[in-house]
Structure 1
Amino acid sequence: MRIRPIARADVDGLLALAQQAGVGFTSLPNNREFLAGKIEASARAFEERTPVNNRLYFFVLEDEDNGELAGCCAIEGQVGNEVPFYNYRLGTLAHSSVQLDLHRTIDTLFLSSDHTGDAEVCSLFLRPEYRGEANRHLRNGALLSKARWLFIAQFRDRFPEKVLAEMRGVFDENNKSPFWESLGKHFFPMDFSEADRLTGLGQKSFIGELMPRFPIYTTFMAEEARACIGQVHRHTRPALEMLKKEGLRWEGYIDIFDGGPTVEAYIDDVRAVRNSRLYQVEIAADAPEESISRWLAASTQLSSFTAAWVGRAPVHDTIVLNSTEAERLGVTTGDTLRLLET
């Protein structure tokens, strides 16, 4: 398995991933024309043909055994510069009555664009057959998630101070969002899937136009909707745990539609960015394999960036690869790789 930049020829494979991702996966809409445009935007970013503050870096996880796309992930260089980036900020308002000697604090939701200009790690999806704890599938999710940090670390000057990730919110057994049913549907004359589709297609101006700009008291919402605030979809929990281990934290921001948490951190504080190091490559045909690959390696060229697990630890300033690993990563003796111990 290896991570590589998405190619223009991958449109059918990406569409298949979008069809499996389903409702609520806003950044991967089931729309071939839009996905082709996203691929083109990513290709132009890797070719450095777009402004650095408006770049989308999109990656796929490729199964080398059959050439299929097993998953995808992406990095938005900066959000909100062209299309508004909205979320709710959870706050508190205090009310008191001196005459009655009563004091109440009530949770509120404020419409916010506080993350404008931050980077975003997004669009992480892994096909169900590539998940799980068995054999080689064990580390596919980690490869998808962590490869993005090695890319950011290698090309640090292309990214701002902070990074965020929006996590998919809670849906019930009928695939409905309690948060949307209690709040969003009262302001948007459409169902969740349509609002989600429009947002995924980049049509976000209607959010600021239709949502109230005054604080929303959560006490007016249904109890099951309040319980969803800052909580994640059951399939999103592993991704959230990996982000938390890297140092991203929930600071009270949630998704407009499903109430899922937005986690964030200063990029230089992210564990994988801080701990990854550069090593020189040496190729040896008889390089021994370790029983468990603990080291993630990434190449250092922008347009041909590749990431994969390697079978042994570096020694001093050198990483020894066998010929298969070297071919997978597109490197030869004397080249440089960025490595992270996981």
Structure 2
Amino acid sequence: MRIRPIARDDIEGLQALSQQAGVGFTSLPDNREFLAGKIEAAARAFEERTPVDDRLYFFVLEDETTGELAGCSAIVGQVGREVPFYHYRLGTLAHSSVQLDLHRTIDTLFLSSDHTGDAEVCSLFLRPEYRGEANKHLRSGALLSKARWLFIAQFRDRFPAKVLAEMRGVFDEHNRSPFWDSLGKHFFPMDFDEADRLTGLGQKSFIGELMPKFPIYTTFMSEEARACIGQVHRHTRPALEMLKKEGLRWEGYIDIFDGGPTVEAYIDDVRAVRTSRVHPVEISKDAPVQSVSRWMAASTAMNAFRAAWIGRGPGEDGTLVLSEEEARRLEVSAGDTLRLLDTQETS
């Protein structure tokens, strides 16, 4: 298994991933024309042919045994520069009556664009057959998630100070969002799927046009909907846990459609960014291999970026010895460099 930039001929594989992702996965809609545009935008970003603040870095997890795409993940250089980037910010209003000696605090939701200009890690999806503790690909999700931090660390000057990640919200057994049913559907003359589809396609102007500009009192929402605020979909919990281990935290911002949390951090405080290091490479056919390794490595080239698990850490002199198979997978030669992450330091 290895991570690589998406290629222009990956359209069939990416559309297959989008069809498996399903409802609520806003950044990966099942729309071939849109996905082809996303691939082209990513290709131009890796070729550094677009402005830094308008770059989408899109990665795929490739199963080398089958050639299939097992998953995907992405980084948006800066959000909200071209299309408004909305959240609800959870706040509190205090009310009191001195005469009656009554005091009450009420949770509120404010429409916000506070994250404009931040980077975003997004579009993390792993096919179901590559999930689960009993699966030999148990660590594929970790590779998909953490490889992005190695990329950001290697090309730190291409990114702003802060990074965020939007987490998919709660859906019931009928694939309905209680948060949407209690709030969104009263302002948008469409169902959740259509609103989600339009947002995924980048058509977000209707949000600012139709949503109220004044605070929304959560007490007017159903109890079930209030319970969804800041909570994640059951399939999103592993991804959230990985982000929390890297240091991202929920600061009170939620998705306007499903109420899922947005977690955030200063990039320089993210553990994998802080602790990864660059090492020179040597190649040996006798390199020892551990059955389960804690080491993740990524190449230091932009357009030829590769990331994978490797079988050992650096030697005392700082040199990283790769097996011939590892060198082939990462597409490096003796004398090249790799950015190395000890995942035990970020677990």
Bucket of the pairwise TM-score, normalised by the shorter protein: over 0.9
Aligned to 1:211: 211
Task: Compute the displacement of 1:132 (Å).
Answer: 1.0
Q: Say which is worse superposed, 128-137 or 96-105, in terms of deviation.
A: 128-137
Aligned to 1:96: 96
Code of the aligned partner of 2:320:
I
Distance 2:195 2:266 in 1: 31
Aligned to 2:336: 335
Task: Compute the displacement of 1:238 (Å).
Answer: 0.2
Distance 1:254 1:65 in 2: 39
Structure 2 portions without partners, runs of 5+: none
Deviation string 1:276-310 (CA, Å, 9 cap, x unpaired) is 00111000001111121110000000000000000
Q: Within the alignment, does 1:37 sit opposite 2:37 as a pair?
A: yes
Distance 1:180 1:259 in 2: 8
Aligned to 1:300: 300
Aligned to 1:287: 287
Deviation string 1:178-211 (CA, Å, 9 cap, x unpaired) is 0000000000000000000000000000000000
Q: Within the alignment, does 1:320 sit opposite 2:321 as a pair?
A: yes
Aligned to 1:183: 183
Task: Compute the displacement of 1:133 (Å).
Answer: 1.2
Aligned to 1:4: 4
The percent of aligned pairs where both chains have the same amino acid is 85
What are the within-5 Å matches in structure 2 for residues 1-342 of structure 1? 1-316=1-316, 317-342=318-343
CA RMSD of aligned residues (A): 0.5
SS in structure 2 opposite 1:9?
A: coil
With normalisation by structure 2, the TM-score equals: 0.98
Deviation string 1:115-172 (CA, Å, 9 cap, x unpaired) is 0000000000000001111353110000000000000000000000000000000000
SS in structure 1 opposite 2:27?
A: coil
Code of the aligned partner of 2:210:
L
4+ runs deviating over 6 angstroms: none
SS in structure 2 opposite 1:8?
A: coil
Code of the aligned partner of 1:325:
E
Code of the aligned partner of 1:81:
R
SS in structure 2 opposite 1:24?
A: coil
Code of the aligned partner of 1:195:
A
Code of the aligned partner of 2:39:
I
Aligned length: 342
Distance 1:321 1:12 in 2: 33
Code of the aligned partner of 1:323:
E
